[in-house]
């Protein structure tokens, strides 16, 4: 450890020399780096040497020790200053401690007192340095976590109403350019999809990450917050009124489609004046996005285009819609009918809102039918759709919807009962045989067995206690463990053999699940 640097300041040569010779400074981990006969000279030396400790007399010509100490502490608060004083000046020296002076020594200087002082200061300096190191470490860790905290706050902002002042403060803190109040706030939600035969969970996440970079580049010259929500969708919040936001989203959509050969759907909420209403804009954007089932893929849908506003805005009950979807997929007609009645029991201000609710229900039915690969006879057709949407009163609407929901649920239930059998056992065998395929996933496996991904996922969870991805990952890692123990294959070769072609991702996944790197595991588990 490097010695602490000591500077001696006293107008008396004998005192300076006494301090230098009184003890062996090197023994105590200190080095005398300089001495000065007055404060003017000492101030220059402080700037040049930046000592850790300064011993200074009180009574010196031109600038006394107290004033000198004040000047040093103002500029270098970390330097420890020890006042050397005579007995008559003791009270004066004691008062000087209030300035931040570390300690004082009485003349004549005793060895024991000097040693006690320097030991105290040495301990204090090292403790402060340790604290500063820890503080810097914490600062660095906090700096690294800022992107995560920023993302977390933005997700809070879109999911719940927050106080205006809190939003403004957090935006300033996280450097989010939304709190200047220049324009109205508008939210867009972007859903990126690959063709069904190409899409796995991993590919979906990676594609969204790539598209997000593209979106950030596209809007680099405007003030926006761009992030990912909990459903792996890209969210844009803008308060830039200088450009037509829907037109910009149209251009962005084309850009993304051309760049990544994917399907892009964008929902845009209406404009809001207050920061605290951003969550409403997000709800509206999600609601608009849901209409991709009606308008088709690769569309930009504005909230104003899909809803006729009544006296009050209509917002779907997402919890009830999710329950409806679940019970239809489960083939539980009775429960699905009960949830349907709850959805339609709310008051509606006009017929448009009534029909809008019907469309939300129809979309959940369509999602369920697609997931469960329901027979064409049980999917929505033009006649059924017309019968529902042309209903001009709640009883007729309920009747038509109820009939459709019950028929679809019963059809799915029958299909599930017929095909469930030993499906999971077959899937397990299929996974073992196709483990090296990097494209092996829930969607591709479900397609191979002619069942919906949702249905297969639920069966796997029920039978194995794990999600499909968790089960597949465990199987892959178990085989990787075996290969590491029994072969000399390199890590990337083993990764390819278990269906994980990206060496970096394989290394991260292995260490996350096994608690050791690939090399550490191999070295500790060789047979």
> DSSP string spanning 424-439?
HHHHHHHHHHTTT-TT
**Distance between CA atoms of residues 276 and 291, nearest Å:** 26
pLDDT at 26: 92
**Distance between CA atoms of residues 260 and 193, nearest Å:** 10
Q: Which of 251, 273, 306 is the last residue of a domain?
A: 306
**Distance between CA atoms of residues 159 and 379, nearest Å:** 33
Q: Which tens digits make up the pLDDT trace of 229-256? A: 988 999 999 987 777 899 999 999 999 9
- What are the tokens at 514? 């096994």
Instruction: For residues 329-341, give the mean pLDDT.
Output: 89
Q: Which tens digits make up the pLDDT trace of 243-292? A: 789 999 999 999 999 988 888 999 999 999 888 899 999 999 998 887 76
Domain assignment present for residue 376? The answer is yes
Are 108 and 240 in the same domain?
no
Are 258 and 326 in the same domain?
no
Q: Which tens digits make up the pLDDT trace of 80-112? A: 999 888 755 656 656 666 678 888 888 888 899
Q: What are phi and psi of 365, to 5 degrees?
A: -65, -40
Cα dihedral 20, 23, 26, 29 in deg (nearest 10): -110
**Distance between CA atoms of residues 311 and 253, nearest Å:** 33
Show the CA angle centred on residue 115, arms to residues 109 and 121, nearest 5°: 110
Are 298 and 278 in the same domain?
yes
pLDDT at 98: 67
Cis before 476? omega within 30: no
Alpha helices in 290-393 (DSSP H): 292-295, 303-306, 318-329, 333-343, 351-371, 382-389
Instruction: For residues 114-119, give the mean pLDDT.
Output: 93
What letter does residue 272 receive in the DSSP assignment? Answer: B
Give the residue with greater pLDDT, 344 vs 91. Answer: 344
Q: Is 78 a residue whose pLDDT tops 80?
A: yes
* Percent of the chain whose pLDDT exceeds 70: 87
Domain assignment present for residue 137? The answer is no
Are 110 and 189 in the same domain?
no
Q: Please state the separation of Cα 249 from the chain's center in Å.
A: 24
| CATH code where residue 81 lies | 3.40.50.2300
Domain assignment present for residue 507? The answer is yes
Are 166 and 302 in the same domain?
yes
Domain assignment present for residue 143? The answer is no
Are 239 and 357 in the same domain?
no
Domain span at residue 371? 318-419
pLDDT at 90: 58
Are 277 and 195 in the same domain?
yes
Q: Which of 399, 419, 439 is the last residue of a domain?
A: 419
Domain assignment present for residue 352? The answer is yes
**Distance between CA atoms of residues 165 and 274, nearest Å:** 11
Q: What is this structure's pTM?
A: 0.43
What letter does residue 30 receive in the DSSP assignment? Answer: E
pLDDT at 176: 86
Q: What are phi and psi of 170, to 5 degrees?
A: -65, -40
Q: Which of 400, 419, 438 is the last residue of a domain?
A: 419
* Percent of the chain whose pLDDT exceeds 90: 31
Q: Which tens digits make up the pLDDT trace of 10-63? A: 988 988 898 998 899 999 999 999 999 999 999 999 999 999 999 998 888 888
pLDDT at 350: 59
pLDDT at 5: 95
Give the residue from 376, 374, 403 showing the smallest Cα distance to 387: 403
Give the residue with greater pLDDT, 422 vs 515. Answer: 515
Assign 311 a pLDDT band (cuts: 50, 70, 90).
very low
Residue 291, C-beta contacts closer than 8 angstroms, at least 6 positions apart: 267, 301, 306, 359, 363
Residue 506, C-beta contacts closer than 8 angstroms, at least 6 positions apart: 480, 491, 492, 494, 495, 498, 500, 518
Instruction: For residues 134-144, give the mean pLDDT.
Output: 78
Instruction: For residues 383-409, give the mean pLDDT.
Output: 77
Alpha helices in 220-350 (DSSP H): 245-260, 278-289, 292-295, 303-306, 318-329, 333-343
Q: Which tens digits make up the pLDDT trace of 175-219? A: 888 866 667 899 999 999 887 666 677 888 888 899 999 999 998
Are 474 and 497 in the same domain?
yes
What average pLDDT does the chain have? 84
Q: Which tens digits make up the pLDDT trace of 426-475? A: 888 899 999 989 899 999 998 888 788 888 888 888 888 899 999 999 99
Are 429 and 506 in the same domain?
yes
pLDDT at 85: 81
Are 166 and 297 in the same domain?
yes
Are 286 and 366 in the same domain?
no
pLDDT at 180: 66
Show the CA angle centred on residue 378, arms to residues 372 and 383, nearest 5°: 140
| CATH code where residue 452 lies | 1.10.10.60
Strands 80-85 and 103-106: parallel
How many Cβ atoms from other residues are within 10 Å of residue 329's Cβ?
25
pLDDT at 309: 40
| CATH code where residue 247 lies | 3.30.70.270
| 451 burial level (CB within 10 Å; 0-12, 13-18, 19+) | buried
pLDDT at 33: 95
Domain assignment present for residue 256? The answer is yes
Are 168 and 213 in the same domain?
yes
The DSSP annotation for 60-118 comes to -SSS-HHHHHHHHHHH-TTSEEEEEE-GGGHHHHHHHGGGT--EEEESSPPHHHHHHHH
Domain assignment present for residue 94? The answer is yes
Number of domains observed in the structure of the chain:
4
**Between the CA of residue 329 and those of 31, 133, 443, 471, what are the distances in Å?**
79, 57, 16, 22
Domain assignment present for residue 153? The answer is no
Side by side, which strands form the sheet with 234-238? 224-228, 234-238, 186-193, 263-268, 300-302
């Amino acid at each position: 450890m490097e010695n602490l640097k000591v500077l001696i300041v006293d107008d008396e040569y004998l005192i300076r020399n006494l301090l230098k010779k009184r003890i062996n400074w090197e023994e105590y981990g200190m080095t005398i780096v300089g001495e000065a006969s007055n404060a003017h000279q000492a101030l220059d030396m402080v700037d040049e040497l930046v000592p850790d400790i300064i011993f200074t007399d009180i009574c010196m010509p031109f600038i006394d020790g107290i004033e000198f100490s004040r000047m040093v502490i103002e500029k270098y608060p970390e330097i420890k200053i020890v006042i050397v004083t005579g007995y008559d000046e003791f009270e004066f020296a004691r008062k000087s401690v209030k300035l931040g002076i570390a300690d004082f020594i009485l003349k004549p200087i005793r060895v024991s007192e000097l040693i006690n002082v320097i030991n105290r200061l040495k301990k204090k300096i090292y403790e402060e340095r340790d604290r500063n190191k820890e503080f810097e470490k914490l600062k660095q860790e906090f700096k690294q976590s800022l992107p995560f905290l920023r993302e977390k706050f933005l997700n809070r902002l879109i999911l719940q109403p927050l106080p205006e002042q809190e939003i403004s403060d957090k935006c300033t803190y996280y450097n989010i350019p939304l709190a200047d109040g220049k324009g109205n706030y508008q939210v867009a939600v972007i859903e990126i999809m690959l063709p069904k035969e190409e899409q796995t969970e991993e590919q979906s996440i990676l594609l969204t990450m790539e598209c997000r970079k593209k979106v950030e580049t596209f809007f680099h010259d405007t003030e926006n917050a761009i992030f990912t929500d909990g459903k792996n969708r890209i969210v844009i919040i803008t308060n830039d009124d200088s450009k037509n936001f829907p037109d910009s989203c149209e251009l962005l959509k084309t850009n993304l489609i051309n760049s990544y050969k994917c399907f892009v759907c964008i929902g845009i909420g209406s404009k809001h004046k207050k920061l605290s209403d951003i969550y409403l804009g997000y709800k509206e954007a999600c609601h608009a996005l849901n209409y991709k089932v009606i308008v088709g893929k690769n569309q930009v849908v504005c909230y104003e285009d899909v809803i006729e506003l009544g006296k009050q805005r209509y917002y779907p009950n997402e919890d009830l819609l999710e329950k409806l979807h679940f019970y239809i997929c489960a083939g539980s007609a009775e429960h699905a009918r009960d949830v349907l009645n709850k959805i339609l029991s709310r008051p509606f201000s006009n017929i448009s809102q009534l029909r809008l609710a019907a469309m939300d229900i129809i979309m959940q039915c369509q999602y369920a039918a697609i997931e469960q690969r329901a027979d064409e006879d049980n999917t929505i057709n033009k006649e059924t759709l017309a019968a529902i949407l042309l209903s001009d009163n709640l009883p007729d609407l309920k009747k038509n919807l109820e009939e459709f929901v019950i028929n679809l649920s019963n059809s799915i239930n029958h299909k599930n009962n017929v095909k469930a059998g030993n499906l999971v056992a077959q899937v397990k065998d299929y996974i073992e045989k196709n483990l090296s395929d990097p494209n092996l996933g829930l969607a591709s496996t479900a397609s191979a067995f002619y069942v919906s991904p949702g249905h297969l996922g639920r069966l796997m969870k029920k039978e194995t206690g794990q999600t499909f991805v968790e089960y597949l990952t465990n199987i892959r890692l178990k085989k990787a463990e075996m290969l590491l123990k029994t072969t000399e294959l390199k890590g990337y070769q083993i990764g390819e053999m278990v269906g994980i072609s990206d060496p970096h991702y394989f290394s991260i996944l292995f260490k996350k699940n096994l608690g050791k790197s690939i090399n550490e595991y191999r070295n500790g588990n060789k047979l």
